[in-house]
Amino acid sequence: MKSAEPKRGNNMNKRARNRLIGITAIMLIAIVAIIATVGLRGGTASNVTVKQATSDKKNIGKRIKVGGVVVTGSWDKKTNPMTFKIRDEADSSGTGTQITVIYSGTAPSTFGDGVTAIVTGEFDANNTIKAGEMITKCPSKYESSTGSYTVKDLKARADTMKNIPVKVSGKVKAGTIVAPGGAVRFTVLNATGGTDEINIAFEGALPNGMKDGSTVVLTGELNDTGAFEATNVALEGAK
């Protein structure tokens, strides 16, 4: 490279320095201005739960990012845009207000019943959200059996426990798991032995790895026929 730069005095140096600072300032202002437009142009969304979204009128007409559990059987991957419902994560009985999601994009591979879907889009007055972004979290695969009833206990109290949400744990009876659609999905035995068993009704996705003999923790309630209608099925695990 040539180094035939003319000699320049201190004065010039200062002027160059000021210009440098000036251009830096202009650059920073430009970047701040660009960032400011993000807020105006709908690049942001507030994080809310299904309960917060549906109970606060302020969210109507705004972009929100809401996470909820996909309601069993509420979706059809084949329609476009795809529509499904999500319920609040704490609302295991499914009685609370739900949000209808209209999703225009490819459903992630892991999408399914009972999966936590986090969607972003504009929320309207009918508790509907038009979403263009979705990420999914797998259903909690493992759950501790602490605090759950055994199959034996639950059977013994069947009369008083009807239609009350509870947790129960037991062993999957060999050869009983069938595909969704029927009245009974599988049967669980008392984990510590004995002949007690309960039929489980469940339409959602079973956790990966569940098979004959797996110890499962179920959330749901006993119905009038004595079957257990599960809203969540998890494998027993330390995590």
Partner 1 sequence: MLTFGQIGLGLALAATVLAAVLFLFGHLQKGAGKSLSRIGYYLTFAGVAGLTISVVIIAVSFFTKDYSIYYVATQHTTDASSLSWLYKLAGVWAGREGSLLFWTWLMSLFAGYVAWKSAATEDELGNMALMIINAIIALFTVAMIFSEPNNPFVATPAQFLSNGTLVGAAAQWGMSPLLQHWAMILHPPTLFIGYAGLTVPFAFAMSTLIINDSSDRWIKWADRITIFSWLFLGIGIGLGAIWAYVVLGWGGYWAWDPVENASILPWFIGVAMIHSFTMYRRKGGFKRWAIMSTAITFAMVVLGTFITRSGIVQSVHAFAPDNLSLWLFLFIIVGSIVAGAVGLAVRWKEFAGNDAFESLTGREAAYYFNNVLMLVASLVIAYMTVASALPKWLPFGGQSLGAVAYNLIARPVGILYLVLMAVCPVLSWAFTDGATFWKRIKWPLVATLVMFGLLVVEWIVNLRPVYADMVALGGETAKGFTSFGPQVVYDILTLLGFFFASFVICNTVALFVRGVKARMDGRGEGFGTALGSVFFKARSQSGGYLAHIAIGIIVIGLIGSSMYVRDMSSAVQAKVGTTMQVSDYTLTYMGNKETTKSNGDVEEIVHFNVAKGGKEIGEVSPSMTTFAAQGQSRLNAVVLSGPLRDVFVVFQGTSNGTLSMDVKINPLIWFVWIGFILLLVGAGLSAWPKKKAITA
Find the binding residues for partner 1 in span 164-203 (CB under 8 A).
Answer: 177, 179-180
Kind of pairing, strands 197-201 and 215-222?
unpaired
- Counting contacts by CB under 8 A, is residue 146 touching partner 1? no
Encoded one letter per residue, x for contact with partner 1 by CB under 8 A and - for no contact, window 9-28 reads ---xx--xx-xx--xx--xx
The token duo for 103 is: 């999703």
| Residue 184 DSSP code | -
Q: Which of 206, 218, 222, 230 binds partner 1 (CB under 8 A)?
A: 206
- With contact defined as beta carbons under 8 Å apart, do 123 and 62 qualify? yes
SS3 111: coil
Shortest reach from residue 211's CB to partner 1, in Å: 7
Stretch 216-235 residues interacting with partner 1 (CB under 8 A): 216, 235
Shortest reach from residue 135's CB to partner 1, in Å: 5
Number of residues in contact with partner 1 under rule CB under 8 A: 77
Smaller CB distance to partner 1: residue 19 or 162? 19
Q: Which of 55, 56, 80, 162 binds partner 1 (CB under 8 A)?
A: 80
Shortest reach from residue 25's CB to partner 1, in Å: 10
Give the closest residue to 185 by CA, choosing from 168, 172, 166, 171: 172
Stretch 105-144 residues interacting with partner 1 (CB under 8 A): 105-110, 112-113, 118, 120-121, 130-133, 135, 137, 142
Beta-carbon contacts of residue 134 (< 8 Å; ≥ 6 apart): 101, 103, 105, 107, 108, 111, 117, 118, 119, 120
Shortest reach from residue 174's CB to partner 1, in Å: 13
Backbone angles phi, psi at 36, to 5 degrees: -60, -35
Shortest reach from residue 128's CB to partner 1, in Å: 13
HEC string for 53-95? HHHCHHHCCCEEEEEEEECCCCCCCCCCCEEEEEECCCCCCCC
SS3 155: helix
The token duo for 94 is: 């499914």
Cα atoms in the Cβ-side hemisphere of radius 13 Å centred on 39: 4
From CA 231, how far away is CA 164, in angstroms rounded? 12
Shortest reach from residue 37's CB to partner 1, in Å: 6
Shortest reach from residue 152's CB to partner 1, in Å: 18
Smaller CB distance to partner 1: residue 121 or 220? 121
Encoded one letter per residue, x for contact with partner 1 by CB under 8 A and - for no contact, window 28-67 reads x-xx--xx-xxx-xxxxxxx-----------------x-x
